[in-house]
Structure 1
Amino acid sequence: MQIKFFAYLRDYTGCKITDFPYQEDIYQLAHALCDKYGDKLRGKMLSPDGEDLGEEIIILVNGRHVAHLGGIHAKLVPSDIVSIFPVVAGG
């Protein structure tokens, strides 16, 4: 599966795009990515207890927001493209 990182998340991961081993759902993917890339990513990607997505992250699977796919328990397939963005605020 392909993972795309945007904005400052690229600094945390050291890459824009990576081919990542298939994970069954967003929960497993988020934890695997945080294990690989560290605590800075974990602090943005997951809630403090690790049971939900963080409030400062947007995840799209094939262009669809995970909130519409089952949230952190959204199922994945090996051909999915997962895009991970930080929430952007401003005006």
Structure 2
Amino acid sequence: MLVKVRFFGKFRELLNKETVTLNVRENGKVKDVIYELARQTDPKILGRILNEKGEVRSEIIILVKGRNIQNFKGLETKVEENDVVYIFPIATGGG
């Protein structure tokens, strides 16, 4: 099934793209999308999205259907045909 991934911030800069369309297995989950993204683009992106425990880094937000996956099943959240997965870093500031 096809799933689109949209990037923001440092991910857009790393991959030099705004979107990628991936072919993910039926009944796929967000974690499948992330691993397929790393396989098809740049393996370094995996370590920028996931921590050493394989969890989404605290400074990263991932949305599916406009909702934060952390409010559902995290990386186990299911994706469906033509879903758009948004991956972006939390904006920080200081002064």
Secondary structure at the residue paired with 1:12? helix
Report if aligned partners of 1:44, 1:56 keep a CA contact under 8 Å in 2.
no
Report if aligned partners of 2:24, 2:36 keep a CA contact under 8 Å in 1.
no
Q: TM-score, normalised by structure 1?
A: 0.85
1:36 lines up with 2:40 in the alignment: yes
Letter of the structure 1 residue corresponding to residue 49 of structure 2: M
Q: 1:73–1:47: structure 2 CA closer, same or farther, 3 Å change rule?
A: same
Q: Which residue of 1 aligns with 2:57?
A: 54
Paired with 2:64 and 2:71, the residues of 1 have a C-alpha distance of 10
Deviation by residue 1:24-74 (Cα, 9 ceiling, x = unmatched): 00111111112223243122111114x221222110002100011210110
Which stretch of the first structure deviates more once superposed, 30-39 or 18-27? 30-39
Give 1:17 deviation, angstroms.
Answer: 1.3
RMSD: 1.6
Q: Which residue of 2 aligns with 1:89?
A: 92
Letter of the structure 2 residue corresponding to residue 21 of structure 1: N
1:8 lines up with 2:10 in the alignment: yes
Which stretch of the first structure deviates more once superposed, 73-82 or 14-23? 14-23
Secondary structure at the residue paired with 1:20? strand
Secondary structure at the residue paired with 2:62? strand
**Unaligned runs of at least 5 residues, structure 2:** none
Secondary structure at the residue paired with 2:47? helix
| Rg larger for | 2
